[in-house]
Structure 1
């Protein structure tokens, strides 16, 4: 497995698939500004998947990658069981070829098993596909609990590979991957932990409150608008800390995730999101501030487990 130097933050292209989660359409021109700002400032780790708009996210990112030195960017993509051709004996190869074509590349830097559907079958086939490949990507699993992570690592090792990354939902108001011991396991075994939804799709950005709820036509409104009273409390704490560190509220949860030893994936649809990510990398939260944030979040007793999630033990 090759060595790949990773930035402190990955930029997520989930919303680039225009699947309605964020309630609006994004233009290729506006996203090009986002891409350029990130690349100009060394944020070159891009996380996508075929199922983000069934190729739309990949194709958009691939459009921006054209003509660039392949060593100037790092691509993180996924094998999603629900999009696989179960009748094919080469399903992993088939999906990779579609993704390579969409992105305009011929190698992945990081390749994930996206979820646990038929997980043993698929991590085994991924392992078989990359077995003996000296240029194999970092292989990771997403949305797996601790026992499933250990299981995947064992299967990969049987094929001369190893688990190099885990990607789970992790934020101030969802720390199940920490409480279950997953973060400790990753630290002990030199495995990257990618934390996604660190800002809870904008709920921890300080932008939304009871008088300014999330757009009614978005899926995230259904999840977060019913708990805006609790979110107002934690966002007020984020505002206090943002004043202390002279940054915006949205930068505090990202800085917290970095301080916890994780590599946050930040969804970027506007240039300001990139600027926030850049500033967040330079914030060093005190141990007291981290504890205060976590104690407050715990006291609010959020229960925002999403439909794709489960217990992380």
Structure 2
């Protein structure tokens, strides 16, 4: 398949390294060049700042990310885990170089609605920023794969609630899934789509791809969304990483 048929996204890793200290502005460009070499690509479609804890100032990060666009190494740039305030700050800094902030990627699912309840999701809509969700299925907790007797691995830390507490959520998702003739996974992903969110999911098996694709081509009713909202979890933020 031609390269233009794929959308490839990667991230600028923000945990401080020598590159960040010696080349604070050039670090995003240098790291992207390394990623492109490793991937065997000339460019990526989307390049994100992985988190808000970078040692560089917003001004320097924005300048470095803008340079990646100017050199044609990425088509657009975004951020991840940014709060509303920091997202707006980055958007304003990028605008100085004529580069839009395209994406803010944060954890969002039925088990973590904090970006919606905090106003971050609305801010993205108002500013033309795509809100992209990771852990859209709460690392498998919203697929029906796990139960209180078969919990997920302890390493699955996002939305790591006890499965017994999640059972009311799964019961609602399953009831809607059975009524519509789709998978529980499809209902959970469609919920994100109905909120105006672009969900990111991991696929390792063919059946997972089939379940995920069942989320397309339809939308939950307002009544079904209210049912899910009623059993959903707000989740929380952390000062170190998940600020958004």
The alpha-carbon deviation at position 228 of structure 1 amounts to 1.2
TM-score w.r.t. length of structure 1: 0.70
Aligned-pair CA distance for 1:198: 1.3
Matched with 2:193 is 258
2:208 match: secondary structure? helix
What's 2:48 paired with? 112
Q: Does 1:74 align with 2:12?
A: no
Task: Say if 1:272 and 1:308 are closer, same or farther in 2 by CA, change over 3 A.
Answer: farther
Matched, 1:98 2:34: yes
- Could you tell me the TM-score, scaled by structure 2's length? 0.88
Runs of 4+ in 1 over 4 A off after TM superposition: 131-136, 302-307
Match of 2:67 in 1: 129
Contact 1:113–1:122 (8 Å) recurs in 2: no
Shift of 1:93: 2.2
Partner of 1:284: 219
What are the residue-to-residue correspondences of 1:159-308 with 2, within 5 Å?
A: 159-215=97-153, 218-220=154-156, 224=160, 227-298=162-233, 303=235, 308=241
Kept in 1, the 8 Å contact 2:63–2:97? The answer is no
Q: What SS does the corresponding residue of 2:220 show, helix, strand or coil?
A: coil
Secondary structure of the residue aligned to 2:61 is helix
Unaligned runs of 5+ in 2: none
What secondary structure, in the 3-state scheme, does the structure 2 residue paired with 1:269 have?
coil
Q: Deviations over 1:98-121 (max 9, x none)?
A: 110121111111110110123515
Aligned residues: 238
**In 1: Cα distance, 2:45 partner to 2:170 partner:** 35
Per-residue deviation, 1:293: 0.3
Q: Is the 8 A contact 1:81 1:117 kept in 2?
A: yes
Distance 1:108 1:167 in 2: 17
Deviations 1:29-72 (A, max 9, x none): xxxxxxxxxxxxxxxxxxxxxxxxxxxxxxxxxxxxxxx42112
Confirm or deny: 8 A CA contact 1:127 1:159 kept in the other structure: no
Contact 2:53 2:241 in 1 (8 A): no
Deviations 1:169-193 (A, max 9, x none): 1111211111122221221222111
Distance 1:295 1:204, change over 3 A: same
User: What RMSD over aligned residues (CA atoms) do the two structures have, in Å?
Assistant: 2.3
Residue from 61, 69, 77 that aligns with 1:139? 77
Residue 303 of structure 1 and its aligned partner are, at CA, apart by 4.3
**CA distance, structure 2, for counterparts of residue 222 and residue 111 of structure 1:** 23
| Shift, 1:165, TM fit | 1.0
